[in-house]
């Protein structure tokens, strides 16, 4: 799968895209990550990509021309029209379900905004406007990193065992993951639950479902109305 990230600060994303599972996935040619410096597509020769907003107001707005020229280059290089996403606090909220759908596109381009935002005509040319949360960042670079890693994990072979991704929080619906334990069996007076050492896989499965439900109720009660309790278990 191909990822293209258009940004004013590609250097911010170089270390992120060069380590961990993303580096391994690129070494195996499972994914390719291309970073594009938006200033190189400025038409004024000075690298300026922003201007004052029509109608007045504070701050500066990113101009449409550099984004469009960069998108044209990406289309020529990739030989296809990639699915294009504008990262914006005004976008729809990013979810695991969206990540799974984006992983099916084969080619994903992420546009990183800055300043007071991006000219709305850029958004009109995108397939999706996406936000990673109800907060505001200085730019879209951190959001791009979140989206790239989340989507890349959905590409077959990127995560060593697909089961690891399939048991993540939100993978199979709006529910948090169950508690995990490893060695040592006892640590500072806290012990691993006996049921995880029982060898009874059905009891372990049911315990994990129940504890995932409890954790969701405790940490994300806003999700509870979207969930159904494990079969045979009363709502907590």
Neighbours of 115 (CB within 10 A): 16
Domain 2-152 CATH class label: alpha beta
3-class DSSP state of 222: helix
pLDDT along the chain (236 residues), means of 10: 98 96 97 97 87 93 96 96 96 96 98 95 97 95 98 94 55 79 94 96 96 93 70 48
Q: Do domains 2-152 and 174-226 have the same CATH topology?
A: no
The pLDDT score that the predictor gives to residue 227 is: 57
The pLDDT score that the predictor gives to residue 226 is: 60
The vertex-176 CA angle with 17 and 92, nearest 5°, equals: 60
Is the C-alpha dihedral spanning 150, 212, 172, 205 positive or negative? positive
The pLDDT score that the predictor gives to residue 234 is: 42
List the beta bridge partners of residue 230. Answer: none
- What is the CA 236 to chain-centroid distance, rounded? 31
Query: Do the beta carbons of residue 197 and residue 184 sit within 8 Å?
Result: no
Domain spans of the chain, in order of start = 2-152, 174-226
The pLDDT score that the predictor gives to residue 46 is: 79
3-class DSSP state of 22: helix
Neighbours of 45 (CB within 10 A): 6
Domain 174-226 CATH class label: mainly alpha
**What's the CA gap between 48 and 53, in Å, rounded?**
15
**46 Rama sector, left if φ>0, alpha if ψ -120 to 50, beta otherwise:** alpha
List the beta bridge partners of residue 186. Answer: 191
């Amino acid at each position: 799968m191909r990822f293209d990230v258009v940004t004013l600060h590609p250097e911010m994303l170089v270390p992120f895209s060069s380590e961990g599972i993303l580096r391994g996935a690129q070494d195996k040619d499972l994914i390719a990550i291309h970073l594009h410096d938006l200033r190189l597509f400025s038409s004024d020769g000075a690298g300026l990509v922003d201007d004052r907003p029509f109608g007045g107001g504070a701050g500066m707005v990113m101009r449409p021309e550099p984004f469009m020229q960069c998108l044209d280059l990406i289309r020529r290089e990739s030989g296809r029209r990639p699915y294009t996403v504008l990262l914006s606090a005004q976008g729809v909220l990013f979810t695991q379900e969206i990540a799974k759908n984006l992983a099916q596109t084969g080619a994903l381009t992420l546009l990183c905004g800055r300043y007071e935002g991006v000219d709305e005509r850029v958004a009109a040319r995108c397939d999706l406007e996406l936000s990673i949360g109800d907060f505001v960042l200085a730019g879209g670079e951190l959001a791009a990193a979140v989206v790239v890693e989340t989507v890349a994990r959905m590409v077959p072979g990127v995560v060593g065992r697909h089961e690891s991704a399939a048991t993540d929080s939100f993978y199979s619906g709006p529910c948090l993951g169950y508690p995990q334990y490893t060695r040592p069996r006892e640590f500072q007076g806290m012990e691993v639950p006996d049921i995880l050492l029982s060898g009874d896989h059905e009891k372990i499965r049911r315990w994990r479902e129940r504890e995932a439900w409890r954790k969701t109720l405790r940490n994300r009660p806003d999700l509870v109305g979207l969930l159904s309790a494990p079969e045979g278990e009363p709502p907590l």
